[in-house]
A and B are shown apart, each in its own frame.
Chain A
Amino acid sequence: MSVVLLQLGQCGNQVGQELLELVSTDGRNDPGRPDSYRAISLERFFRQEAGTDAVPIARAVLVDMEPKVISQTLAKAMKSGQWSYGNHSYFCQKQGSGNNWANGFCIHGPRHEEAVLDLVRREVEQCERFGGFIAMMSLAGGTGSGLGTYITQCLRDMYPNSFILNQLTWPYGTGEISFTDINKVIAHQLGSVLQPVCTRWSISEYGTNPLGDLLESLVTHPEYKLLSLMNIPLMSDKSLQFSTFTWPALMKNLRQMLIANAKMEAGIDWQMKLPPAGHPSVSKPFSDRKLCFNTSLANLLVLRGKEVFQADTDGFKEQALYTSWMPADSALSVWRTSTTFSKYEKSASIVSNSQCLQKSLDRIVTKAWDMFASRAYVHQYMKHGISEEDFLDCFTTVEQVIASYSSLG
């Protein structure tokens, strides 16, 4: 099934381009790859135009209010020579959104709705088997977040039965970072989940419905829709040639990353432990850090590489990892394929619907509430049409989400 990418805003466009680049390279890489892997990967993200010389065209729609990022993205794709974007698959304006969500949502959204949705419609019609949307955006900024929200709403109205996955990039806290590197990492993580893999419906054939299967395993409850993504191993090319990996080690590290809510393999808190089996699950007191582990609602493991069928995933099946009302059997899904992914001989990812994001959300909401209470920057939003009521509604919704997640364990 084919997936349509919506690249919204600067971050969305850059991450999207990296993802497509990664997928294209991975699909072509090593001639030992099974043909079906390449064919499915190609069909999923690209379409072939008529003509023998044509490169595959990405199933993507690029949207930004400034022309700079889009032209950069288009150029980069063209330069690779292996794929490109469609000639008319982008929409941009002259003036940006000024990092203002309200500008994106209330002004640019309705104004450019038709044009953007027209592009989307054309892309969907080109899909023989349409498998859903991936909307990529950042949470900061104006276009990605504001316009992105508006477009997502329109998509849901236009295609009520489709699968929509919003890929959100969290803004960095402090300091300087290199965007290109981070974008590559994010793309790598996404690619490790979206490339062809055998889902649980069949052990020998690749699953054909990536978004549908993903969402069905993880997002079954309407109150819990936040997923986080972790992938190991992640190391530079130079170190890669000197490292070997074993499945038990990878599984152990990944499990601890999940429990301790670590973003990277380095600096995992090994002190965090689950309550020993058999003891009644106690409500976690704030003082005792050992018990503040990350409770999950559902987890999806995607394992790729050699000897993948010997990987032991029992560590993820413990009931203590999961909330009290979700049996571990239905909470855990494991997808495997022996095809390697992007130079890593073994690679493991976990997509987790758990309390990972709860603390960050909490922090942000506290800050936002302080700012709102002192009316800082509020007029910037109000001049574009957001009222105080809307603000309060949003706060309520986010608090509800935080409350739901904290009630998990």
Chain B
Amino acid sequence: MKIKEAIAALCKVLVGIRGRDGAAIAVNISPEMFRKAKFNRNEVTTEFWKLLHWLLKLVNEDKPSEVLELADQIKYVKAVVCYYGYGFMDFYQLPMDGSLGSRDLILAFSWLLQRIHLLEQLLNLHRLQVEDVASLCMCKQTLSFRPMEGSDLQESSHPVEMDVRYLQSLHGKLRFRRRNLYSAQQERCSALYKIHLYTKGCSSSQSFDHLSATEARLIQDHQQCTEFVQLLEHENIQLEAYLEWKRLEPIYWQWMESVLSAKLQDTQEVLNLNFTAVTAPSFNRRENCKEPDAFRKTNKLYAELLKLQSEIQDRRLVKNERIKEQERSMGDHLGWHEAVFLTCNLEQKLAAVQARMSQERRRHGQVRLALRINSTLTPSRSKPPTAQQHISSVSLTATEMISQLEAEAILLKKELQELQQLSKEALGEILEHLDGVICIPPTPR
């Protein structure tokens, strides 16, 4: 029975996964567990809940998980699985004491495995890195701000009444801490530059000819080096287990099909008992369960999106027709030179739009820092730590980034000035209604 091997490989991968504090999975997983779940045995249900909770907690938060009650764990798992879009209603109706439903759990687990590339995400979690990374974020969106409601203020156990001057002092504290951070960053930058400069020609890698800070440290400190090698070996073992799993994966999915058909069979039997109607029941349309609002809305939005898409296509066709007509009519009157001029103009405009587009592309993520031969610091994209295999081989120079960021800063400053002007005008309007009030501007910083 090859399926046992396949499940054993999967278990081996899962067992090797460690959390940030080095904690391994606390559940005893084995192929036996999976087999029992196929037959909907109840003794393995709690194990499965705990497994799902641990895995999802790792993927989402990567915090050392506090020990929770089973009911809380079940609630958490249901919430996260709903967030990912699992639509099988039976899962959400499982009891909160973890007594029933191991087959639904295994179905959900396999769905997650495929849908969010669960294993790949888990393996990616604590990958060892030696490169020097910097994080880059050009996102325009700021954190959403929810104005405090009155009840919040009363419930907060603050020793003194909230005063605007306290807020001002908190704001001042933030400013100082930001300055501290800035100077620490500058220091890091100059240290990295020195390391890169001094270790030129040391590395054997093709694309980078210097060592990173971590690499330099490992060379100096023998103890750390041996520890690092041990960690690498452990990661190697994990990856080998993963490869083994990948080899046997198709068998697992075939087996999952059998689980699914077993489930469908049971459901049909249940329905046959309940309803005497002749119409073929589908288990997505049960009358005693309500579809959560989220799904209904998503369906509606999806339909609207399809409609918009077809509309756009229609319009595009019409426009193409019109352009063709114009071209034909133009070809009679104008000469060839004009046509060329128009195309050139169009190309320029397209180039300008493309340039703006590439600027507008909001960068976000980690970049690797490397020093190039013409002695400018060159950040280049490393594989982004997601489960998708998009490898963006865009490498940018620091000067490009700096000019982009400076342009961005100018825009933001302008926006700030406009907003300040608006609030000044608003304040002016308010002041007009107040008599006998003299405004003294705050002391300049």
Q: Are A327 and B158 in contact (CB under 8 A)?
A: yes
Query: B159 and A328: CB pair below 8 A?
Result: yes
Least Cβ–Cβ distance between B411 and chain A, in angstroms? 20
Task: Say if the beta carbon of B276 comes within 8 Å of chain A.
Answer: no
Which of chain A's residues has its CB closest to B440's CB? A400
B191 to chain A, nearest CB (A): 8
Q: Is A173 an interface residue (CB 8 A)?
A: no
- Given the contacts A319-B159, A325-B166, A327-B160, A216 and B176 also touching, CB distance less than 8 Å: yes
Contact present for A129 and B159 (CB under 8 Å): no
B residues in contact with A400, CB < 8 Å: 440, 443
Among A131, A220, A328, contact of B176 (Cβ-Cβ < 8 Å):
A220
How many pairs of residues, A versus B, come closer than 8 Å at their CB atoms? 72
A325:B443 contact, CB within 8 angstroms: no
The answer for the CA separation of A100 and B179 in the assembled complex, in Å, is: 35
Per-residue CB contact flags for chain B residues 163-197 toward chain A (1 = under 8 Å, else 0) read 10110111111001101101100110010000000
Q: Does B445 contact A (CB under 8 A)?
A: yes
Q: How many chain A residues touch B (Cβ–Cβ < 8 Å)? A: 30
Task: Kindly identify which residue among A1, A131, A162, A324 contacts B160, using a CB–CB cutoff of 8 Å.
Answer: A324
**B-facing mask of A276-289, CB < 8 A → 1, else 0?**
00000000000000
Cβ contacts under 8 Å, B159 to chain A: 319, 327-329
Complex: how many Å from CA A297 to CA B177?
19
CA distance A328 to B182 in the complex (A): 28
Chain B proximity of A159: nearest CB distance (Å):
10
**Alpha-carbon gap, A397 to B442, bound state (A):** 9
Give the residues from 409 to 445 in chain B that come closer than 8 angstroms, CB to CB, to chain A: 440, 442-443, 445
Residues of B within 8 A of A163 (CB): 179
Chain B interface size band reads 20 to 34
A177 to chain B, nearest CB (A): 33
In the complex, B155 has a CB within 8 A of chain A: no
Q: Is the CB of A326 within 8 A of B169?
A: yes
A residues near B190, Cβ cutoff 8 Å: 128
Most chain A CB inside 10 Å of its own CB: which residue of B166, B171, B177, B182? B166
CB distance from B157 to the nearest CB of A (A): 11
A43 to chain B, nearest CB (A): 13
- Chain A, range 315-343, C-beta contacts under 8 Å to B: 319, 324-329
| Residue B304 is within 8 A (CB to CB) of chain A in the complex | no
B180 cross-chain contacts in A, Cβ below 8 A: 209, 212-213, 216
A130 nearest CB neighbor, chain B only: B183
Contact check, A222 vs B158: say whether CB atoms are below 8 A apart: no
Instruction: Select which of B158, B161, B165, B177 is within 8 A of A221 by beta carbon.
Output: B165
Chain B 112-151 interface 0/1 with A at a Cβ cutoff of 8 Å (1 = within): 0000000000000000000000000000000000000000
Which of chain B's residues have a CB closer than 8 A to the CB of A297? 169
Which residues of the partner chain B approach A131 to less than 8 Å between Cβ atoms? 183
A219 to chain B, nearest CB (A): 7
Min Cβ gap A408→B in Å is 10
6 A-B pairs in the complex with CB atoms less than 8 angstroms apart? A128-B187, A129-B183, A222-B442, A324-B161, A328-B159, A329-B159
| Shortest Cβ-Cβ A-B pairs, 5 listed | A325-B163, A220-B172, A216-B176, A220-B169, A221-B169
